[in-house]
Amino acid sequence: LKVAALIPAAGSGTRLGQGPKAFVQVGGRTLLERSVAALAGHVHEVLVALPAGMELPKGVQARAIVGGQTRQESVLRLLEASGADLVLIHDAARPFLSADTVRAVLAVLEQTGAATAAQPVADTLVRADPFQADGTLWDERVERAGLWAVQTPQAGRRDWLLSAHRRAETEGYSATDDAGLLHWAGHQVTLVPGEASLFKVTTPGDLLLAEALAAVWDA
Ligand code: CTP
Ligand code: MG
């Protein structure tokens, strides 16, 4: 079976505020370069969705296509451009992906057809008052047991993902991730323990964390 890594990297990085996020560097390498390098040795091909008008940074070994207006649209285009049987979908914005996690997700993918990296939630959870704009604690009895925070890589049979995405497009359903979309389409998705390093670089604070981690990660 042919396996492809699909990397949505077409976002504009609004919350970070430094231009298209995949091209932002940490520890001297772009987020995109780090994500591609983490996957390249594990799959038959790497496909990247880029913002219109951008090219792959020099030295990044992958095939590039133009992404869409939303992450979901970028992933649909990647799924359509790939000829693989199985795919791993990984955000360019999560640059610290270990070989162990890639292997763990791939192993479950081959057994079950649908898997995602995720982590049991460790923090105490509360709900804010929906009628107060400023974050007033409203309910402290939010049960944490059984809650997982979803990361990437997310993996699935390409035919399952394609039909879930096409159905979502037709019905106007939007999901923030592909494992959620597979579940919505009726598939059982296995949660594979990910790692704290897989946090998504979203805000300037995350970039500071990423810089600090890069020094240790690259050593
Ligand atoms: N992404 C994409 N196509 C889009 C939007 C997002 O391929 N139209 C990708 C991003 O490049 C990123 C991943 O999806 O690798 C997760 O998205 P996010 O963290 O939201 O990145 P951005 O959309 O770039 O950031 P922001 O929402 O702050 O603008
Ligand atoms: Mg976004």
Reading the chain (219 residues) residue by residue, the pLDDT tens digits are 999 999 999 999 999 999 999 999 999 999 999 999 999 999 999 999 999 999 999 889 999 999 999 999 999 999 999 999 999 999 999 999 999 999 999 999 999 999 999 999 999 999 999 999 889 999 999 999 999 999 999 999 999 999 999 999 999 999 999 999 999 999 999 999 999 999 999 999 999 999 999 999 999
Query: What interface predicted TM-score (ipTM) does this complex get?
Result: 0.99
CB burial class (10 A; 0-12, 13-18, 19+) of residue 73? middle
Looking from the CA of residue 22, the nearest atom of ligand 1 is 11
**Ligand whose nearest atom lies closest to the CA of 10:** 1
Q: What pLDDT score does 38 carry?
A: 98
Q: Which has the closest alpha carbon to 95: 19, 178, 24, 156? A: 24
Q: What pLDDT score does 189 carry?
A: 98
Residues 93, 200: contact at Cβ < 8 Å? yes
Looking from the CA of residue 200, the nearest atom of ligand 1 is 19
Tokens standing for residue 80: 């359509």
| Cβ(115) – ligand 1 distance below 6 Å | no
Q: Which has the closest alpha carbon to 102: 115, 121, 119? A: 115
SS (H, E, C) the chain: CCEEEEEECCCCCCCCCCCCHHHCEECCEEHHHHHHHHHHCCCCEEEEEECCCCCCCCCCCCEEEECCCCHHHHHHHHHHHCCCCEEEECCCCCCCCCHHHHHHHHHHHHHHCEEEEEEECCCCCCEECCCCCCCCEEECCCCCCCCEEEEEEEEEEHHHHHHHHHHHHHHCCCCCCHHHHHHHCCCCCEEEECCHHHCCCCCHHHHHHHHHHHHHHCC
Does the predicted TM-score (pTM) go above 0.95? yes
Q: What pLDDT score does 91 carry?
A: 98
**Ligand whose nearest atom lies closest to the CA of 93:** 1
The Å distance, Cα 41 to ligand 2 centre, comes to 27
Q: What pLDDT score does 19 carry?
A: 97
Q: Which has the closest alpha carbon to 200: 177, 218, 179, 169? A: 177
Residues with CB under 5 A from ligand 2 (ion): 11
DSSP bridge pairs for 157: 86
Q: What pLDDT score does 99 carry?
A: 98
The Å distance, Cα 66 to ligand 1 centre, comes to 13
Q: What pLDDT score does 174 carry?
A: 95
- CB-based contacts of 171, cutoff 8 Å, min separation 6: none
Q: What pLDDT score does 130 carry?
A: 94
The Å distance, Cα 139 to ligand 1 centre, comes to 31
